[in-house]
């Protein structure tokens, strides 16, 4: 298990295994996708031009599970986390193959989240604010279920551009890793969070080799829900469980873009009088594409924004000097974004965004 002095080197093997296994199993997942008909066809809201397999979540699951089984068996609750990872990936792979109704996916999300909170006893027991500790008591399980379902849907809705969800989650994993490192000296249990975060980072990076634009495989609902569930669980086992004021702000800030986009999508659809699962092309990444950015540029913009917000969260959590890094990233991101907008012809993009919004695909949760 990692210590304050060797946590970086100790976390490296589990990350490497996750990367290698994920990369090795992506071709198999792609082959299975075409064999069982889990293929995303071009058209509608989709921006890809070639039929693309969407069972990449199975490769992500394989990378995470093998890495944890190899190097993470000393982590408390490691087996429970592995079991729920397999269950989520396999159940949501059914949606990638069959195209399940949105309410069916909600039921799956709810049952898996309930299993984590009640059966495996991985839950948020209190929320600590400056000068105030709120013990959730009877609300522990409901709040945990809401948190886990929120994470799954946020990452799922984020998965609309090649490499976007995997890259953002890898960065969030890095933020959770550093937050755990910061607490390791006073809370040895954070060593487990370090290994879990490392495995998460590894499987995301391994998948990005095939998923960054132009993508050769999609993660599908199996992958996006799996990553959302893992992020939710790691935050509960890590920063959301410590007794430091504002600790919960670390994952919330790092995931501010997908969380905010999800909340606004629900609000927007309610105002339009349609169901919250009604798909549209008005998400933030769609608007950036309409602005003139390429899929790669859109993904990189999200990466930079996530890293900036993560740095701010880490500064609140104790990494004070990292604010300088956040400001530097902010300047780089803004400069690149303004430059790309200028190269694309300015800010006249709203009509294109509205036109894209009319191109709907199947309901998407």
| DSSP sequence for 264-318 | HHHHHHHHTTS-TT---S-SHHHHHHHHT--HHHHHHHHHHHHHHHHHHHHHHHT
Q: Enter the pTM of the model.
A: 0.84
Residue of 157, 85, 153, 150 lying closest to 115 (CA atoms): 85
What interhelical angle do 220-237 and 56-71 show, nearest 10?
30
Sequence ranges of the domains in the chain:
7-357
CA angle at 58 for the pair 107 and 8, rounded to the nearest 5°: 105
Looking at residue 61, the DSSP 8-state letter turns out to be: H
Pairing, β 52-53 against β 39-40: antiparallel
**Cβ(72)–Cβ(197) under 8 Å?**
no
What interhelical angle do 220-237 and 102-114 show, nearest 10?
30
User: What pLDDT score does 243 carry?
Assistant: 45
Instruction: State phi, psi for 166 to the nearest 5 degrees.
Output: -65, -40
The CA distance from 2 to 191, in Å, is 6
User: What pLDDT score does 365 carry?
Assistant: 44
CA angle at 96 for the pair 92 and 99, rounded to the nearest 5°: 100
Pairing, β 132-135 against β 126-129: antiparallel
What tokens appear for 304 in the block? Answer: 């930079």
The CA distance from 64 to 199, in Å, is 6
Residue of 165, 204, 195, 226 lying closest to 23 (CA atoms): 204
The CA distance from 110 to 167, in Å, is 26
Residue of 222, 231, 280, 268 lying closest to 105 (CA atoms): 222
Q: What does the CA dihedral 157, 148, 330, 175 come to, rounded to 10 degrees?
A: -130
Residue with tokens 């309410």: 103
The CA distances from residue 360 to 215, 280, 353, 354, in Å, are: 21, 5, 13, 12
Helix (H, G, I), strand (E, B) or coil at 346: coil
Helix (H, G, I), strand (E, B) or coil at 53: strand
The CA distance from 233 to 144, in Å, is 9
Per-residue pLDDT in tens (0 to 9) along the chain, 365 residues: 444 556 677 889 999 999 999 999 999 999 999 999 999 887 655 565 688 999 999 999 999 999 999 999 888 889 999 999 999 999 999 999 998 888 899 999 999 999 999 999 998 887 766 566 677 788 889 999 999 998 998 898 888 788 989 999 999 999 889 888 877 766 777 888 999 999 999 999 999 999 998 899 999 999 999 999 999 999 888 765 554 444 556 667 777 777 777 666 666 666 666 555 555 555 676 677 666 677 888 888 888 888 888 887 787 766 666 677 777 877 888 788 777 767 766 555 444 444 444 444 444 44
Phi-psi region of 134 (alpha: psi -120 to 50; beta: other; left: phi over 0): beta
Residue of 222, 337, 349 lying closest to 281 (CA atoms): 349
| DSSP sequence for 162-206 | TTHHHHHHHHHHHHHHHHHHHHTTT-TTHHHHHHHHHHHHHHHHH
């Amino acid at each position: 298990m990692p210590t304050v002095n060797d946590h970086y080197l100790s976390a490296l093997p589990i990350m490497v295994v996750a990367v290698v296994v994920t990369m090795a199993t992506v071709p198999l997942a792609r082959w299975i996708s075409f064999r069982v008909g889990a293929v995303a066809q071009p058209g509608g809201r989709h921006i890809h031009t070639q039929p693309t397999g969407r069972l990449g979540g199975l490769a992500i699951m394989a990378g995470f599970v093998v890495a944890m089984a190899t190097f993470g068996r000393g982590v408390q609750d490691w087996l429970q986390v592995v079991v729920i990872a397999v269950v989520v990936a396999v159940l949501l792979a059914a949606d990638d193959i069959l195209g399940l109704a949105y309410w069916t996916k909600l039921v799956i999300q709810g049952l898996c989240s309930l299993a984590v909170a009640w059966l495996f006893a991985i839950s948020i027991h209190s929320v600590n604010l400056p000068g105030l500790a709120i013990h959730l008591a009877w609300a522990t399980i409901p709040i945990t279920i809401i948190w886990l379902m929120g994470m799954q849907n946020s990452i799922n809705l984020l998965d609309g551009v090649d490499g976007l969800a995997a890259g953002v989650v890898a960065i969030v994993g890095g933020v959770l890793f550093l937050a755990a490192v910061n607490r390791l000296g006073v809370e040895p249990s954070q060593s487990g969070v370090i290994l879990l975060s490392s495995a998460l980072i590894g499987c995301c990076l391994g998948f990005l080799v095939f998923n960054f634009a132009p993508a050769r495989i999609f993660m599908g609902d199996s992958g996006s829900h799996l990553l959302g569930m893992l992020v939710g669980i790691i935050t509960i086992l890590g920063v959301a469980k410590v007794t430091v004021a504002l600790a919960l702000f670390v994952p919330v800030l790092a995931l501010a873009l997908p969380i905010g986009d999800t909340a606004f999508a629900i609000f927007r659809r309610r105002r339009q009088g349609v169901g919250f699962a009604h798909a549209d092309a008005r998400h933030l990444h769609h608007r950036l594409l309409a602005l003139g950015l390429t899929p790669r540029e859109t993904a990189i913009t999200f990466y930079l924004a996530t890293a900036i917000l993560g740095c701010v969260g880490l500064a609140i959590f104790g990494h004070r000097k990292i604010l300088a890094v956040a400001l530097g990233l902010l300047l780089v991101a803004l400069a690149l974004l303004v430059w790309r907008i200028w190269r694309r012809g300015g800010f006249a993009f709203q009509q294109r965004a509205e036109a894209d919004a009319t191109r709907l695909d199947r309901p998407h949760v």
